[in-house]
Structure 1
Amino acid sequence: MTMIETFERAKRLIDPADHVLLLTDERSDGDTFGSSLAFAEYLRGQNKRVTHVAGSAIPISLRFLPGIEQATEDRSVIQNPTIDLVIVFDSSRESYVKDILSLLHRSVSLILFDHHASNSLFGEVNVVHSDVSSTCEVVFEYLRHHNIPLSRDMAKCLMTGILTDTGMFSNPVTNSDAIDRASALLIQGGNIKTVIDNIVRQMGVEQLQLWGILLSRLVYHREFDTAILWVKQEDYDLTGTGSEIIGELHDYLQATLHVKVIFFLKELSDGMVKVSMRSINNDVSRIAKQFTGGGGHPGACGFSVKGVIKIVDDCVCVV
């Protein structure tokens, strides 16, 4: 199905809806929040009631985004019986949002906006296009196709997603189309400096302390030209931080550490360990796909396994 066809199918579900639930999963980042917040403003401009539920804690670095204060982590609002449409953003698998969706009062249509090639296409309408760098680009094209004018706030949100998912225009998914869309957003008020200042240059003492602990553990395997870093639950307690600030460190390492693959292991509060992988020139998604629920992009992907992180015979293990 072409991009235009998915746009038309999505609009046919959106037009008659009165109360729309916008949903992000537990892996939310700048692209997730940027795309969903821009879409929330569009829907409110169409006189629709919008409930915006964040499936994870909102990162400190993204709290500058316009409309972020209207997103909630309170899942009880999902049980409102007036919700008649669900739109999920930047989520590649139903398992990432299944628990949240189970709270719905009744069965309703679901639209999915995403750009991951590994997407399982779990929506009634799947606006999923893997030839773009970010979900924000998919949303940008949807709004442009339907001649929806972009406000300054919408442009800022969409610019944030493009910048974060392209690594500030530095990683392999950056292409001329991404630059062209960013240029159009810049004209509409999506200031690049404002986004970078908030995402990269606004770090508190606690975040730097956590980064110091994690960087002191960095292990380099010369034989395979790979690096491994890990964070345990007690690291958050020690520094008074949360998992929402880890993504920026992963981005920083990818931009500054020139190795074939970076492995980042993160203990989660539910007894799982999330393994994230980044690479410039290697398709690490082939590794992620060997695990249930694993996937992502060739250069940025991950999977989760049950266990805790331990050091066994100088090796980082999940047991």
Structure 2
Amino acid sequence: MVFTFQNLLIVLKKMRIRMKSDILKELDRSSKIYLVSHINPDGDSIGSLLAFGKSLKHKYGEKVILLKSDKIPDTFKFLNNMNYLSDLQILKAIDDNSTLITLDCGDLNRIGAVNDSIKNFKSIINIDHHKSNNLFGKINIVDSDASSTSEIIFKLLKDNSLLIDKDIAEALYTGISSDTGSFKYESTDANTHRIASELLEYNIDKSKIIFYLYQNRSIETTNIFIEAIKKIEFHYHNKIGITIITKNMMKEANASVSDIDGIVEFIRDTENIEIACVIKEIDINKYKVSLRSKSYLDVSQIATHFNGGGHKKAAGMVVEGNVEKIKYKLLQLINKKLR
């Protein structure tokens, strides 16, 4: 463990995660505790936010505030305690001794408009599992070997005798299941399964979680899938699959950002594909790129070329420029790493 005047760094690698007394002191002394997860939220960001937020509310009461950094996808609205989420207008009056806890965010850009108020917080506690995390907090709890941020939160709660009830267990199970692709990804290990088993002991409704996560695709999602799949291009002996989703395609399908979730995995799961790319237009000459690999290629290395990040087999970035030039550069970089 490394200590500096500006930064207390806790980087956790294959070890039991404990909320050290320094963190408890930070929360105890805070007049307000704000929690936020990343924009374009997924199951892990929402699950860890709701779970940790409810547990901290049980300990600290009304001084705990959960922030809604972005619209919540309909997929996750079955989770309880959504009413805890506050709109960002609440940040207009931040107490001097307030702490911000960020969840599942590799850097501060991921917290969206909350970053505009970042200087008003006395301290930041950064909890994440992305290896590209840039350790921006006063206190950083970053375990890149964890399957998800929800897994880290479970360990924090359990190791420190903080509240875990049915709602919290359901949120954490949702986060772990969604971030491991229903326990299929390489990040899933024996410890992940042990945690999932413990969460099931809280009598959570696993069938309900499976239904909403995997068996309830909207018509809009299906329509944008069809259009994106029509435009897939295969390159380098079918080892790369890539598609571009334009704003016009989204409009015609009446699709939202969350409706394109799963397209990049669909491409990756095609025979012979090693890496899948989805390039989504988010503004004029501005694109969000999602990358997935199947076996050996580290897509986080590709993402870092564009100031992005992520994991070995799942990464992303936002890139500005002409889309055909972006695609060409991507293909050139990937080709150098293919076997």
**What TM-score, normalized by structure 2, do the two folds share?**
0.84
Q: CA deviation at 1:230?
A: 2.1
C-alpha separation between the residues in 2 aligned to 1:7 and 1:275? 37
Q: For residue 144 of structure 1, what is the aligned residue in structure 2?
A: 158
Q: CA deviation at 1:85?
A: 1.4
Describe how 1:38-117 pairs up with structure 2 within 5 A.
38-46=51-59, 47-72=61-86, 74-82=87-95, 84-97=98-111, 99-103=113-117, 106-117=120-131
Aligned alpha-carbon RMSD (Å): 2.5
Describe how 1:31-42 pairs up with structure 2 within 5 A.
31-42=44-55
1:317–1:266: structure 2 CA closer, same or farther, 3 Å change rule?
Answer: farther
Q: Is the 8 A contact 1:25 1:54 kept in 2?
A: no
C-alpha separation between the residues in 1 aligned to 2:272 and 2:198? 32
* 1:160 pairs with 2:155: no
Describe how 1:23-34 pairs up with structure 2 within 5 A.
23-34=36-47
Secondary structure of the structure 2 residue equivalent to 1:150: coil
Q: Is the 8 A contact 1:80 1:104 kept in 2?
A: no
Matching residue's letter, 2:43: G
Secondary structure of the structure 1 residue equivalent to 2:117: coil
Secondary structure of the structure 2 residue equivalent to 1:48: helix
Q: For residue 201 of structure 1, what is the aligned residue in structure 2?
A: 215
Bigger drift between 100-109 and 11-20 goes to 100-109
The gaps in structure 2 that reach 5 residues or longer are 2-11, 331-339
Q: CA deviation at 1:80?
A: 2.2
Bigger drift between 34-43 and 242-251 goes to 242-251
Q: CA deviation at 1:222?
A: 4.8
Residues 180-228 of structure 1: per-residue CA shift (max 9 Å, x gap): 1111111113333221210111122222111111111122225251111
Q: For residue 145 of structure 2, what is the aligned residue in structure 1?
A: 131
Out of 278, 284, 300, the residue aligned to residue 299 of structure 2 is: 284
Secondary structure of the structure 2 residue equivalent to 1:102: helix
Q: CA deviation at 1:56?
A: 2.7
Matching residue's letter, 2:305: Q
Out of 238, 255, 271, the residue aligned to residue 252 of structure 2 is: 238
Q: Is the 8 A contact 1:284 1:299 kept in 2?
A: yes
C-alpha separation between the residues in 2 aligned to 1:127 and 1:213? 40
1:121–1:105: structure 2 CA closer, same or farther, 3 Å change rule?
Answer: closer
Bigger drift between 296-305 and 24-33 goes to 24-33
Bigger proportion of residues as helix: 2
Q: How many residues align?
A: 314
* 1:22 pairs with 2:35: yes
1:285–1:150: structure 2 CA closer, same or farther, 3 Å change rule?
Answer: same
Q: CA deviation at 1:283?
A: 1.2
Q: CA deviation at 1:237?
A: 1.6
1:20–1:107: structure 2 CA closer, same or farther, 3 Å change rule?
Answer: closer
Between the aligned residues of both structures, percent identity stands at 26
Q: Is the 8 A contact 1:32 1:135 kept in 2?
A: yes
Q: Is the 8 A contact 1:31 1:160 kept in 2?
A: yes
Q: For residue 9 of structure 2, what is the aligned residue in structure 1?
A: none
C-alpha separation between the residues in 2 aligned to 1:257 and 1:229? 16
C-alpha separation between the residues in 2 aligned to 1:300 and 1:218? 19
C-alpha separation between the residues in 2 aligned to 1:71 and 1:274? 26
**What TM-score, normalized by structure 1, do the two folds share?**
0.89
Describe how 1:175-186 pairs up with structure 2 within 5 A.
175-186=189-200
C-alpha separation between the residues in 1 aligned to 2:147 and 2:193? 10
C-alpha separation between the residues in 2 aligned to 1:54 and 1:270? 26
Q: CA deviation at 1:52?
A: 2.1
C-alpha separation between the residues in 2 aligned to 1:14 and 1:227? 46
Q: Is the 8 A contact 2:220 2:253 kept in 1?
A: yes
C-alpha separation between the residues in 1 aligned to 2:146 and 2:119? 34
Q: For residue 24 of structure 2, what is the aligned residue in structure 1?
A: 11
1:76–1:266: structure 2 CA closer, same or farther, 3 Å change rule?
Answer: same
1:137–1:8: structure 2 CA closer, same or farther, 3 Å change rule?
Answer: farther
